[in-house]
């Protein structure tokens, strides 16, 4: 028996339409003849959401008693016994009432998936565990119900349900999100425009990272070596010399010029002890990379240039930033340097930028793109 697939509708805030879209997907599949049931849907009395559920079979909920009160939860055993092809299960991060087989609803969903049942679910960005503190800083509200990020990342499909803050506030004013007696308080607090804009950006960035993961996995699975420039990704190659901080700041500025740009830094240790670097200097440079929002990677390889290029293609880098050579002209005449090897090996898919610095030999000042196939003389004289 094959494992079921999971599709998750992710939203920035309550009311953007996740449950509605989940039910719409259920109606679409049922219309094609798929056996679909509603395992659990919370419509909060929203008329449009309730109407979208019409015609879909609903598995009755299970009544639970806790501390003198009655609650209804999804009846996991009833869904397993019914064995539909698809179950619609709202609110992935929900915490079950004590006495249920699992503490969290995402654990219920895991059991449905293991049973070969496809699941369509929903979650808001504020319920992702890694963003809990960030959301609290933005909204002033700490979310008690969370789901581990990896449970959502492993979904077969994640669809962002997007809506501008202005549109969501209008939807709320029209009574399509909360009852009338809760609207004013919600608009004045959690649903302030600034909060909604920040939450929307968090959702977009999180989904963009998930898409990037899928893109890298696709390229690896299909043996695609050349980078796809879906967004600018700048790789700073650090030699371990004092020019590193200059290169890091240049790489950060370059990455920041484009929307969604990202920058990384890499240092290659040859591992033979012949080329020594100052560990304290590298530690400072690593700290600077991380302070500026980049990621640092330490690699080992016998051929520095080849290792840098292989890593650049692995992470889908669109640009490599290197420092102007500190080698003497005699050494340049005798052998090709790392910088020149990187330029020659970059091909047509990665741009290489050589940046001057105070440690460069011969007082060179190079602030231009140097990887140009039509100008090999310029490139070869730019770096050692």
Domain 6-221 shares a fold with domain 233-380: yes
pLDDT at 371: 42
Residue 183 backbone phi and psi in degrees, to 5 = -65, -50
- pLDDT tens, residue order, the chain (384 aa): 799 999 999 999 999 999 999 999 999 999 999 999 999 999 988 999 999 999 999 999 999 998 889 999 999 999 999 999 999 999 999 999 999 999 999 999 999 999 999 999 999 999 999 888 888 989 998 888 999 999 998 999 999 999 999 999 999 998 889 888 899 999 999 999 999 999 998 898 888 777 656 555 655 666 655 555 556 789 999 988 888 999 999 998 888 776 567 889 999 987 665 556 788 999 999 999 998 889 999 999 889 999 999 999 888 888 999 988 655 443 443 345 788 889 988 887 788 999 886 655 443 434 334 443 334 333 333 333
Specify whether the CB–CB gap between 159 and 9 falls below 8 A: yes
**Is the pTM value of this prediction over 0.95?**
no
Specify whether the CB–CB gap between 146 and 115 falls below 8 A: no
Q: What is the spatial distance between Cα 306 and Cα 237, in angstroms, rounded to a whole number?
A: 12
pLDDT at 254: 85
pLDDT at 133: 86
pLDDT at 314: 85
pLDDT at 221: 67
- Helix spans in the chain (H): 18-31, 47-52, 76-82, 105-114, 132-139, 149-153, 165-173, 180-188, 193-221, 244-256, 279-291, 304-314, 329-334, 338-345, 376-380
pLDDT at 335: 41
- Every domain of the chain and the residues it spans: 6-221, 233-380
Can you identify the CATH homologous superfamily of domain 233-380?
HUPs (3.40.50.620)
pLDDT at 307: 94
pLDDT at 53: 97
pLDDT at 376: 35
Place of tokens 């240790």: 269
pLDDT at 41: 97
- Helix spans in 229-278 (H): 244-256
The fold of 6-221 is Rossmann fold (3.40.50)
Q: Is the dihedral of CA 155, 156, 159, 160 positive or negative?
A: positive
Residue 265: which of 285, 243, 242 has the closest Cα?
A: 285
pLDDT at 272: 63
Report how far Cα 341 is from the mean position of its chain's Cα atoms.
Answer: 33
Tokens of 308: 């840098």
């Amino acid at each position: 028996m094959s494992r079921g697939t999971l599709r998750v509708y992710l939203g920035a805030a309550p009311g953007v339409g996740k449950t509605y879209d989940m039910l719409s997907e259920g109606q679409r599949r049922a219309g094609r003849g798929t056996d679909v049931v509603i395992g659990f849907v919370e419509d909060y009395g929203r008329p449009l959401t309730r109407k979208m559920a019409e015609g879909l079979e609903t598995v009755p909920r299970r009544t639970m008693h806790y501390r003198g009160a009655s609650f209804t939860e999804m009846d996991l055993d009833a869904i397993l016994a019914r064995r539909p092809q698809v179950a619609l299960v709202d609110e992935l991060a929900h915490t079950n009432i004590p006495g249920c087989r699992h503490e969290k609803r995402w654990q219920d969903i895991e059991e449905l998936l293991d049973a070969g049942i496809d699941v369509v679910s929903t979650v808001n960005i504020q319920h992702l565990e890694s963003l809990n503190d960030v959301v609290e800083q933005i909204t002033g509200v700490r979310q008690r119900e969370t789901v581990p990020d990896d449970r959502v990342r492993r979904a077969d499909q994640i669809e962002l349900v997007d809506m501008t803050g202005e549109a969501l506030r209008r939807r709320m004013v029209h009574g399509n999100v909360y009852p009338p007696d809760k609207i004013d308080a919600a608009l004045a607090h959690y649903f302030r425009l600034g909060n909604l804009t920040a939450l929307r950006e968090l959702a977009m960035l999180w989904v963009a990272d998930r898409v990037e993961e899928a893109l890298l996995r696709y390229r690896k699975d299909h043996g695609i070596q050349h980078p796809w420039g879906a967004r600018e990704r700048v790789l700073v190659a650090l030699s371990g010399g004092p020019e590193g901080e200059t290169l890091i700041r240049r790489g950060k500025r370059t990455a920041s010029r484009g929307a969604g740009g990202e920058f990384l830094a890499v240092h290659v240790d040859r591992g033979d002890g012949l080329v020594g670097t100052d560990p304290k200097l590298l530690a400072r440079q690593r700290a600077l990379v991380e302070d500026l929002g980049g990621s640092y990677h330490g690699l080992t390889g016998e051929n520095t240039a080849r290792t840098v290029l292989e890593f650049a293609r692995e992470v889908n880098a669109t640009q490599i930033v290197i420092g102007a050579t500190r080698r003497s002209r005699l050494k340049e005449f005798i052998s090709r340097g790392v910088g020149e090897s990187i330029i020659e090996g970059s091909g047509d898919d990665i741009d290489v930028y050589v940046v001057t610095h105070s440690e460069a030999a011969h007082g060179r000042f190079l602030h231009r793109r140097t990887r140009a196939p039509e100008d090999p003389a310029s490139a070869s004289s730019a770096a050692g």
